[in-house]
Structure formats: structure tokens, C-alpha cells
Amino acid sequence: MKERVANNYGSFPVVFTKGKGAQLRDIHGKEYIDFVSGIGVNCLGHNHPALVTAIQKQVEKQMHISNYYISDVGVSYTDALLKATEMEGVFYCNSGAEANEAAIKLARKYGFGIQAQKKTIVTLKQSFHGRTLTTLSATGQEKFHPESFAPYTPDFKHMKANDYAALDFIDASVCAIMIEAVQGEGGVNLIDA
């Protein structure tokens, strides 16, 4: 498989065939506890009966409606989400990288409305914000900035977490501070409140 699929993260020498709850089973029948949860997207576990039933019911009605159209389930979900969060609107994304890209664009548009040079975004060292070129630029880890990907999106500054002296470089050019509250990829680093 490694010869046919581009290496993204580096894989372990195991092939999984089944999951139930927090358990995974490989091709040899060996069981593992899934501590990764699909990098967070499988936080409800594998093969949960209620989730399987809900997915089957939805697939029987419609598989996918693009954002060109409105679906009844989309309306219901949006209403429930806005009520639970007490927000006024929502922007749906396919991934964390896409959500971060949208946040970066929104912050820069906001900054541009105040002052044309207000476009710098401060992120934390050891942070991880995604694998697109702009979110890699926002990521505060040099290992994600190889020369082969250059040029990177400009106007990102990276400061050390919990280093209050570093706040001095937050100047008039800064339109946003983007924080990964609990850093995962860079080590589980907690941010002081």
C-alpha cells in the first residue's frame, strides 16, 4: 500500500478491518484501543448502533446535497446548532484546515476594513492549523515549513505559549490571534487561562 498511496502522516504496520466502540481489530484478529479516534472525527466510537441507524436513515433519503441547495436536515441541524450555541449564523466546512482558512480570511477582511496594513495573524509556536499552504504558514512548527513548499503565505508571527513578554510584538499590524487551546500535534501543551 505504501508504494501506491502518498505518505501523509507516516503509517503504522497494521491493517484494520473492523471497529466497535473504542476497539479496533486488525487483519490477524488482534484488538487495539483506538486512542486516536480518527484524529478526533470518530469521537463517538466505531459502529455505534444509534449512529449506524441514523446514517442508514439519512442515506435512504439523500446521500449528499451540496451547498448549492438547501436540505430539510440541514435546516433542522442549523436551527439546533444556533440555538445550542446562541450564535446568529454558521459557516460549514469540510475540515479543520478549511475552517481555519475561513477564519484567516475573515480576520484579514476585518483588519483590511480598519486599516490596509492590519493583516498579521499571531499563532503559537508548536501549533498545528492544517495542511493547506496557508494553514501550514499559520502553523508554528518549522518542520512543517520545508523550502520545497515555499513561498508561504506571509504575515504570520509565531509566539511561545504562556510567554507574556512575547505579547510586546503584537502591534498595530495584527488583525487576529489564532490559538489552539490544547495543542496536540506539537505535544499536548496546555495554554494558561
**Domain harbouring 124, CATH code:** 3.40.640.10
Task: Kindly state whether residue 64 falls inside one of the protein's structural domains.
Answer: no
Give yes or no for a cis peptide into 146 (omega within 30° of 0).
Answer: no
pLDDT tens-digit series, residues 118-142 = 999 999 999 999 999 999 999 999 9
CA neighbours closer than 13 Å in the CB half-sphere of residue 75: 4
- Comparing 52 with 65, the larger pLDDT belongs to 52
Distances (CA, A) of 55 to 17, 66, 80, 92, 94: 20, 17, 18, 19, 18
What residues make up the domain containing 3?
A: 1-47
pLDDT tens-digit series, residues 64-121 = 888 899 999 999 999 999 999 999 999 999 889 999 999 999 999 999 988 878 999 9
Number of domains within the chain: 2
Average pLDDT over the chain reads 90
pTM of the predicted structure, to 2 decimals: 0.81
